[in-house]
Amino acid sequence: MYPLTLSPELLLESVFRTSLDGILLCRAVRDGSEEIIDFTVIKCNSQVAALTGFTEEQILNNTMLTLDPGGCTNGIFDQYASVVTTGQPVRIEHYFAGSNVWLLQALSKFDDGVLVSMTDITATKLVEQQRLQERELLQTVLDYAQTGIAIMDAVRDDSGRVIDFVFTDINQDAERITKRSRAELIGQRYSQVWPEAASNGVLDWHIRAAESGEPVKLNGMNYPVGDYDGWYNIRIRPYGNGVIATFVDVTALKQAELDKEQQAELLRSVLDNSSSLIIAFEAIRDPSDNRIVDFRYVAQNEASRQSVGRTDEQVIGHTMLEYFPHVLETGLFNRYLRVIETGKPMRFEQEYNYDQLTGWFEISVMKWGDGIVLTLVDITASKRHQQEIEAANLGLQRANDNLQQFAYVASHDLQEPLRKITAFSDVLVDQYADVLDSSGKDIIRRMQSAAERMSELIRDVLAYSRVSTHREPLRRVSLARVLKEVVRDLNLEQPTAEITIDADNFPEVIGDQMQLYQLFENLLSNAVKFQPPGQRALIRIAFRTVMDLDAPFGGRGSFCEICIQDNGIGFDPKYADRIFQVFQRLHTRQQYAGTGVGLAICKRVVENHKGVIYASSQPGHGASFRIYLPTVAD
């Protein structure tokens, strides 16, 4: 038998055809400067085609960079070129996107090219990637769980009993919560790092979990860490030769819980210190139609306990109708139902003389969940006082009516003798002038003058009485129209007076037109009257709107300020308040006529309109009167 011998060409062909790996032979493509710019495949087997997704014809008829344009960017081409240049073999892992496979390529130099053996390692690579993803996921979970996690191995004594633990791993949140780094904890004993754990029982819970195999849950554990006095929820689970401890810092929640308890205690203290009766009820509904049939006590304050003489144990859980059945016949029950149905709170006054409650109460009802909160304020004393005030007001009204009637009667009865005195004196002057000497005629003139003054005084007193006790229904009044009428009438009586109105946009007010006419007629007449002898009266009327606290008396809302200034004799500022009193005069009747009632009428008219009036002056420099009246909202 002769030994079988094959030529190198046949041997290479046999390897190409029988290999389970992809094999290809590449030749370098060079430019004019002998730099490698690409590779052409001069030979490949079918496995290369199967791995790359190209046909053998495509592989053999195209260059490397034509088939894999990304070869330059991902470094594959450079690896091929390096093998040709250096002659050093190379193994590379390469993801081939065209066929979605991972390839392990063994590159070795062959002549002026590269012999490539490639193996599909996709399955292995996927397993590696999955493990890497799992590790990354686990680390991510550990680091972003917002829960401290510590893995510890048990430390046992000679008898095998667990006596301590050694840290083997912790996550970032554990570092944050414990204020210790991994380097400080890994390999350290638990009892040495936190000696307090041995005394506060936490170490014992870890040992119990490790020895019993049962997980342990600890909620709201107060566990100081350094100078941080925190509260934690701790979970301990057996794991291998130790435990996994997870812990969450619940200090904020615990503090909120403590704050809530403090607020609840504060609320109880406030409610119990309130003099008002405060009771919370929940609705009791009929299951068949969901209709409210009663209310059940939920809570009451100390005032309620004292008022009805019942403790919390006696009322909590009992019903409203059980203790207060008369709420039905008084209509209170239906009011409570309306508050629940509409959600709108209600406040009203109610007399209640049943069920251990006697007197008048101001009752506030507010919806609370499916129930109500009642607040009862005993207003019996104030109600009695109010009734007394109403009775007094009624008596005052009757007195005012009587005064008004008396004023009319007195005016008529007093004016009648005066008219007769005036008439008889006129008869004496007309018919007996010849027999009267000069002294008699002077007496008659004095008598007529006195009668006229008395008549004027009676008219002014009657006018003041009417302003004080009699008012027409209030309605919109144009101040501009009233002022124009007063100025017109005054010009007829005093044609020499010069009256200037600086504004023509006076607002409207709610008032009595006749009283407002009296107000401005008295003020302008005084401005004309109180002038030095021979001087012509100059009167200026100005207007502006003032808001709220801009008014000198601190009013609320919009006010019309009317300023009336004259060039008269003026007066001493110390009399600025006195001149508004009845019968107050600063001059004799021989100097200036009048009864001293006009400005008192002005003050009463302004007060009737919820306004104010001020006067200011200096002797010899005229007087200024400022009136503030509420305006009508647009």
d(CA 192, CA 203): 11
More confident residue, 590 or 530: 530
Q: What is the pLDDT of residue 481?
A: 86
> In this structure, are residues 220 and 256 in contact, taking their beta carbons and an 8 Å threshold?
no
How far apart CA 181 and CA 169 sit, in angstroms, is: 11
Taking the C-alpha atoms of residue 245 and residue 232, their distance in angstroms, rounded to an integer, is 12
In this structure, is the dihedral angle defined by the CA atoms of residues 57, 58, 62 and 64, taken in order, positive or negative? negative
Nearest to 194 by CA among 168, 222, 225: 225
CA distance 543 to 563: 6
Please say whether the beta carbons of 170 and 186 come within 8 A.
yes
557: tokens are 């809302």
Q: Is 474 helix (H, G, I), strand (E, B) or coil?
A: coil
Q: Contact 475/440 with Cβ under 8 angstroms?
A: no
pLDDT band at 1 (very low <50, low <70, confident <90, very high): very low
Q: Look at 433 and 526; give whichever has higher pLDDT.
A: 526
Would strands 538-547 and 498-501 be described as parallel, antiparallel, or unpaired? Answer: parallel
Element holding 11 (H helix, E strand):
helix 8-18
User: pTM value?
Assistant: 0.39
Q: Cα–Cα distance between 406 and 618 in angstroms, integer?
A: 40
Q: How far apart are CA 90 and CA 32, in angstroms?
A: 27
With beta carbons less than 8 A apart as the criterion, state whether 476 and 510 touch.
yes
Q: Which of 633, 629, 632 is nearest to 611 (CA)?
A: 629
CB atoms within 10 A of CB 566: 25
Average pLDDT over residues 415-441: 75
Rounded to an integer, the average pLDDT of 80-93 is 92
Q: What percent of the chain has pLDDT over 90?
A: 20
Asked if residues 564 and 539 have their Cβ atoms less than 8 Å apart, the reply is yes
The residue-averaged pLDDT of 154-162 equals 92
Q: What is the pLDDT of residue 132?
A: 83
> Pick the residue with more confidence: 27 or 72?
27
Q: What is the pLDDT of residue 547?
A: 77
Cα separation, 242 vs 166, whole angstroms: 9
Q: 311 versus 435: which is more confidently predicted?
A: 311
Mean pLDDT confidence for 198-218? 89
pLDDT of residue 157: 92
How far CA 337 is from CA of 276, 324, 366, in Å, comes to 22, 15, 11
- Work out the mean pLDDT of the chain and round it to a whole number: 82
For the cut 90, the answer to whether the pLDDT of residue 231 exceeds it is no
Distance CA 250, CA 247 (A): 9
Q: How confident is the model at residue 29 (pLDDT cuts 50, 70, 90)?
A: very high
pLDDT band at 461 (very low <50, low <70, confident <90, very high): low
**DSSP code for 239:** E
Number of alpha carbons in the 13 Å side-chain half-sphere of residue 504:
0
Torsion sign (Cα): 66, 67, 73, 75: negative
Residues 42-81 have pLDDT tens digits of 888 888 888 888 888 888 888 888 888 877 777 888 999 9
Measuring CA to CA, how many Å separate 574 from each of 527, 586, 624?
19, 11, 14
Cα angle, residue 19 at apex, residues 18 and 22 outer, rounded to 5° = 130
Query: How confident is the model at residue 340, as a pLDDT?
Result: 92
For residue 5, what pLDDT is reported?
56
Helix or strand (DSSP H, E) at 97: none
> How does residue 401 score in pLDDT terms, banded at 50, 70 and 90?
low
Give me 219's structure tokens: 């909620």
Mean pLDDT of 401-422: 66
Q: For residue 84, is pLDDT > 80?
A: yes
Pick the residue with more confidence: 278 or 137? 278
Q: Which residues of 423-436 are buried (b: 16+ CB within 10 A; e: fewer)?
A: eebeebeeeeeeee
- Res 215 pLDDT > 50: yes
Least confident segment among 144-158, 458-472, 607-621:
458-472
Task: Label residue 131 by pLDDT band (50, 70, 90).
Answer: confident
Q: Is the pLDDT of residue 144 over 70?
A: no
Give the range among 312-316, 432-436, 450-454 with minimum mean pLDDT: 450-454
SS3 231: strand
The residue to which tokens 């909120």 are assigned: 256
What is the predicted pLDDT for the residue at 166? 95
- Among the ranges given (39-43, 144-148, 250-254, 361-365), the one the predictor scored with the smallest mean pLDDT: 144-148
Give the pairing type, strands 371-378 and 475-478: unpaired
Q: What number is the average pLDDT over the span 504-522?
A: 82
Q: Distance of alpha carbon 51 from its chain centroid, rounded?
A: 70
**Cβ neighbourhood burial of 202 (10 Å; 0-12, 13-18, 19+):** buried
Q: What is the pLDDT of residue 291?
A: 93
Tell me what pLDDT residue 393 has: 79
pLDDT (0 to 100) of residue 412: 61
pLDDT at 554 over 80: no
d(CA 597, CA 587): 13
E strand intervals along 35-189: 36-44, 90-96, 101-110, 113-120, 148-156, 162-170
Mean pLDDT of 550-571: 77
Alpha helices in 474-597 (DSSP H): 479-493, 513-529
Per the model's pLDDT, the better-predicted residue between 402 and 384 turns out to be 384
Go through the chain and tell me how many residues it has.
634
| CB of 616 closer than 8 Å to CB of 624 | yes
When pLDDT is cut at 50, 70 and 90, the band that residue 7 belongs to is: low
Neighbours of 440 (CB within 10 A): 14
Pairing of strands 90-96, 162-170: unpaired
